[in-house]
């Protein structure tokens, strides 16, 4: 499905904004009730690269359109738009806010999916699929929940020329699709826990400026929905899933995150509490919600009558969780790691880990070069590496270098006349540009070691940037200046929603927009909270502080 405005079986889809500001495109947090009119979106569609080549690098770029025309530090938005299109991650579509995910980005999503799916199956989670459409009655069964999504829900109102008697919603999330069925499936304590996940797409009719991967009207995700006999079991799973999300970001995408719990204002609509992992984009100084794991309590169980017969013969409501990770993860990785040459992909998720480029030379036997290049490619693939041999004759080596740098291939292997003579290959790292010559006999082991070091170095570099951009303050006078320095701020807080609203209002006057709580961080490796001494006051209200909160401008 490419977007609900598409001509889909003669169904007409409408959206009726009723009460919300925007959604985060990752969870479904509460929204402030504020009507907004949708403004026409101007989605710039950068021209793709051509197929020509010439002798000089600058001239070749001009002729082919290869390379980025905007620096990351000059215009981040324009840079990002260019890097995801010229890097062959997405293609723009004629429905605003909907994007075509090209094979390069889908491969990354599949790598994330393969890892996460394997891990949740170890926990006993099973995959299923539930319908795209939600009845009006089901969607509106949980009042607080539907209010959190009201302005984003797309409604099917027609079939051909006929009005539907009752509009049908396109799912913004699947709690209200799945839970009426859970009430049928769960009868006894023997039916618990019920652990279901689905990989699907959802539609949220966003009103903010659409951004590929980060904020779109349709996106791919997984959503887990589980039911448990006790709160303790539910609590345990919430944190287990949150740790898996951290592993996706840090171990696969090389993006450091901070684990924590959301404020009452920012938690999932209708839930008991929301845990989150938060990432940071140094180029903009903004936090970004990376993934969430929610304990829904028994609220939905009450609404949908999901109960079981306990061992003692009594009837009890289940405890429920929901948790989700989206294709936003790809965009976060691009924003954190990309540079002025294009994408910089972590080896563990890169569709191609090594590109082999033979360099023809006058007087050099083409057959000998081709044979050596093919042998090296075969050798590396036999070791389980994802390798591409770029032996195209209608492109110069220099053009190929730029092309694969733009696409973020972690390691380039060059093979020229001197390399054939010395039985070696030149390796060039995408992350640092470092070059080294390696004997063929040592090539496989050395390539594996370099790829591992690239993965490690990318995470370390990003972690150092995150740490350097967290500023601890204790008074309001230091808050706005820190935000303007593109920092996220750790500050003592009284944990009152009215104060959080006031901070958002008072900080909105700044150039970068309003700040909000990102999370109340947990103590965790690499992020230790300062002691909250007795008598510490809230930085914003002057009332006794109850906890440390991480604040920032955010996506």
Pair of tokens at residue 277 = 């992992």
78-126: per-residue pLDDT in tens? 999 999 999 999 999 999 999 999 999 999 999 999 999 999 999 999 9
- Listing DSSP states for 375-439 in one string gives HHHHHHHHTT--EEE---TTS-HHHHHHHHHHTT-SEEEEE-HHHHHHTEEEEEETTT--EEEEE
121-162: per-residue pLDDT in tens? 999 999 999 999 999 888 887 666 677 678 889 999 999 999
Residue 23 clears pLDDT 80, i.e. is over it: no
Alpha carbon separation from 274 to 224, 242, 412 (Å, rounded): 14, 10, 43
How many CB atoms sit inside 10 A of residue 449's CB? 11
Distance, CA of 448 to CA of 380 (rounded, Å) = 9
| pLDDT confidence of residue 363 | 78
Total number of residues shown for the chain: 555
Same fold, 76-337 and 470-553: no
How many CB atoms sit inside 10 A of residue 281's CB? 23
CATH classification code of 470-553: 3.30.110.30
User: Can you identify the CATH homologous superfamily of domain 76-337?
Assistant: Bira Bifunctional Protein; Domain 2 (3.30.930.10)
Identify the helix (H) or strand (E) that includes residue 459.
Answer: helix 443-468
Distance, CA of 266 to CA of 277 (rounded, Å) = 13
Residue 502 clears pLDDT 90, i.e. is over it: yes
- What confidence tier does 336 reach under pLDDT thresholds 50, 70, 90? very high
Identify the helix (H) or strand (E) that includes residue 91.
Answer: strand 90-92
State the average pLDDT for the chain: 89
Task: Let me know the angle formed at the C-alpha of 35 by 30 and 39, rounded to the nearest 5 degrees.
Answer: 110
| pLDDT confidence of residue 145 | 67
- 354-450: CATH topology is Rossmann fold (3.40.50)
- Listing DSSP states for 306-318 in one string gives -EEE-TTS-EEE-
Residue 167 clears pLDDT 60, i.e. is over it: yes
H-helix segments, 65-142: 76-86, 103-122, 136-139
Residue 21 clears pLDDT 50, i.e. is over it: no
| pLDDT confidence of residue 38 | 37
Pair of tokens at residue 489 = 């701020």
In the three-class reduction of DSSP (H, G, I as helix; E, B as strand; rest coil), residue 139 is classed as helix
Distance, CA of 160 to CA of 168 (rounded, Å) = 14
- Listing DSSP states for 151-177 in one string gives GG-EEEEEETTEEEEEEEEEPSSSHHH
Alpha carbon separation from 215 to 22, 24, 101 (Å, rounded): 10, 7, 14
In the chain, the N- to C-terminal Cα span, in Å, equals 25
Identify the helix (H) or strand (E) that includes residue 126.
Answer: strand 126-127
The pTM of the full predicted model, rounded to 2 decimals, is 0.88
Identify the helix (H) or strand (E) that includes residue 456.
Answer: helix 443-468
Identify the helix (H) or strand (E) that includes residue 258.
Answer: strand 258-261
Query: What are the residue boundaries of the structural domains of the chain, listed by start?
Result: 76-337, 354-450, 470-553
248-300: per-residue pLDDT in tens? 999 999 999 999 999 999 999 889 999 999 999 999 999 999 999 999 999 99
| pLDDT confidence of residue 200 | 98
Distance, CA of 90 to CA of 305 (rounded, Å) = 43
Using CA of residue 269, residue 273, residue 275, residue 276, what is the dihedral sign?
Answer: positive
Residue with tokens 């500001």: 21
**65 contacts: CB under 8 Å, gap ≥ 6:** 47, 48, 49, 50, 86
Residue 344 clears pLDDT 60, i.e. is over it: yes
């Amino acid at each position: 499905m490419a977007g609900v405005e598409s001509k889909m079986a003669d169904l007409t889809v409408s959206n009726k904004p009723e009460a919300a500001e925007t959604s985060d495109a990752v969870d479904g947090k509460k929204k402030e009730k504020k009507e907004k009119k949708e403004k026409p979106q101007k989605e710039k569609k950068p021209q793709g690269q051509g197929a020509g080549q010439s002798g000089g690098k600058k001239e070749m770029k001009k002729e082919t359109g290869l390379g980025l025309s905007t620096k990351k530090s000059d215009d981040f938005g324009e840079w990002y738009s260019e890097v995801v299109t010229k890097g062959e991650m997405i293609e723009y579509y004629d429905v605003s806010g909907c994007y075509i995910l090209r094979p390069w980005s889908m491969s990354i999503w599949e790598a994330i999916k393969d890892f996460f799916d394997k891990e949740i199956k170890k926990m006993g989670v099973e995959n299923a699929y539930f319908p795209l459409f939600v009845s009006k009655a089901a969607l509106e069964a949980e009042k607080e929940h539907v209010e959190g999504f009201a302005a984003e829900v797309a409604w099917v109102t027609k079939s051909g020329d006929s009005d539907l008697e009752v509009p049908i919603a396109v799912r913004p999330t699947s709690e209200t699709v799945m839970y009426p069925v859970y009430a049928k499936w769960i009868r006894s304590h023997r039916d618990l826990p019920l652990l279901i996940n689905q990989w699907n797409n959802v539609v949220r009719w966003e009103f903010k400026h659409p951004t590929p991967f980060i904020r779109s009207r349709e996106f791919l995700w997984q959503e887990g929905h589980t039911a448990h006999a006790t709160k303790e079991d539910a609590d345990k799973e919430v944190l287990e899933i949150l740790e898996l999300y951290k592993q996706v970001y840090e171990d696969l995408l090389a993006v450091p995150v901070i684990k924590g719990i959301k404020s009452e204002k920012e938690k999932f609509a209708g839930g008991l509490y929301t845990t989150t992992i938060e990432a940071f984009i140094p180029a903009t100084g903004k936090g970004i919600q990376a993934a969430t794991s929610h304990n829904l309590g028994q609220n939905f169980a009450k609404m949908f009558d999901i109960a079981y017969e306990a061992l003692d013969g009594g009837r009890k409501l289940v405890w429920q969780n929901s948790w989700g990770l989206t294709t936003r993860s790809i965009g976060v990785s691009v924003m954190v790691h990309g540079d002025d040459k294009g994408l910089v992909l972590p080896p563990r998720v890169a569709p191609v880990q090594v590109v082999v480029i033979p360099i023809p030379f006058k007087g050099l036997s083409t057959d000998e070069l081709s044979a050596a290049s093919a042998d090296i490619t075969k050798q590396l693939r036999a070791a389980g590496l994802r390798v591409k041999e770029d032996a195209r004759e209608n492109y110069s080596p220099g053009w190929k270098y730029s092309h694969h740098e733009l696409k973020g291939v972690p390691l380039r292997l060059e093979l020229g006349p001197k390399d054939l003579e010395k039985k070696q290959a030149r390796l060039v790292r995408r992350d640092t540009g470092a070059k080294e010559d390696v004997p063929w006999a040592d090539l496989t082991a050395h390539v594996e070691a370099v790829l591992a070091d690239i993965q490690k170095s990318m995470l370390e570099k990003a972690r150092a940037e995150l740490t350097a951009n967290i500023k601890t303050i204790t008074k309001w006078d230091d808050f706005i200046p820190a935000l303007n320095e593109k920092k996220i701020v750790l500050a003592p807080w009284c944990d009152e929603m009215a104060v959080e609203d006031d901070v958002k209002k008072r900080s909105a006057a700044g150039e970068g927009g309003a700040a909000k709580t990102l999370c109340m961080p947990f103590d965790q490796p690499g992020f230790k909270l300062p002691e909250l001494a007795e008598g510490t006051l809230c930085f914003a209200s002057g009332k006794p502080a109850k906890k440390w909160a991480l604040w920032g401008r955010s996506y």
